[in-house]
Amino acid sequence: MAAAIAVYVALFVKHKLAPGEIGTVLVLSASLDQSRIVFSYCLAFLEASPVLRKEILNVTADEITLRSGIVNMAKFAGKRTPLDHRKPDSSAQSP
């Protein structure tokens, strides 16, 4: 649901941006895994439609830049949760 809303807001909501301003649709997730899933859904929604696919200007590992100048990104909030299945960071210190 979050991915569908993010794509809708990025493409179909009229944004009032100043010249040179980059609009951002940000989806915050509780975990890195959730963030990756939302991002992949956003990209899949755009790529599945021949019409929407034309709106993609650039794709990086965590951002989709659209022709409208809006950047769609999914990020995680920064704290690990039990749902975050990443390997522990060896540089992180235990509390």
* Residue 52 domain boundaries: 2-10+23-76
Check whether 14 has a pLDDT greater than 60: yes
Q: How many domains does the chain have?
A: 1
pLDDT tens across 31-56, in order? 888 989 999 999 999 999 999 999 99
Predicted confidence at residue 31, as pLDDT, reads 86
Q: How far apart are CA 88 and CA 68, in angstroms?
A: 38
- Residue percentage of the chain with pLDDT more than 90: 46
Asked if residue 16 belongs to a domain, the reply is: no
**What's the CA angle centered on 89, arms 94 and 62, to 5 degrees?**
130
Enter the tokens of residue 46.
Answer: 């755009």
For the whole model, what pTM was predicted? 0.75
Kindly state the tokens that stand for 68.
Answer: 């409208």
